[in-house]
Amino acid sequence: MKTLRNIIVAITMISLLATMGCDSGGEEGQPDPAMQQVALLVNEGKPWVAQAESFVLKDGFDVSDQFEGFNVTFSEGTFKTENAISSAWPSEGNWQLSEQDLNTILRGDGVAMKTRIIGNTLTLTFRAGGPSGGRITSVEGEYQFELISQ
């Protein structure tokens, strides 16, 4: 009788231990929204490009011709651009997601950029300041970049 009771206790303990080790489908199995957003922006290492079917606006006016051939490539924590106006976009820099809003990138130069990704289109909206001592009004303003994934 004592042996039967010990076997039942052992089976019960093994069952409890096995059940405790299983994933119950809780938060551990849920994808991290920040990681998903970073993956979308990194875009498998492919650049986001200003093309004929995309646009660049400054204070609501089309300035796409000033950004012909512009592209930006994000990697985790850094970015590189080509054919940018340096006071609006540095040639390279650091970035991170805002902790308050995963749809906001905080560039290393202090510029906060709202992001929206739909399909293969990235829209970035931000306010850029002009160079110190330069023609500030020529580049300062609210920019909106609509870029296409390559």
What is the per-residue pLDDT for 7?
A: 58
What is the per-residue pLDDT for 137?
A: 44
List the pLDDT tens digit at each of the 150 positions of the chain: 666 555 555 565 565 555 555 555 555 678 899 999 999 999 999 999 999 889 999 999 999 999 999 999 999 999 999 999 988 999 999 999 999 999 999 999 999 999 999 999 999 999 997 655 544 445 689 999 999 997
DSSP 28-50: GGSPPHHHHHHHHHHGGGPPEE-
What is the per-residue pLDDT for 150?
A: 77
CA 82 to chain centre: 19
What is the per-residue pLDDT for 6?
A: 55
Distance, in Å, from the CA atom of 41 to the CA atom of 47, rounded to the nearest integer, reads 9
DSSP 104-146: EEEETTS-EEEEEEETTEEEEEEEEPPPTTS-HHHH-EEEEEE
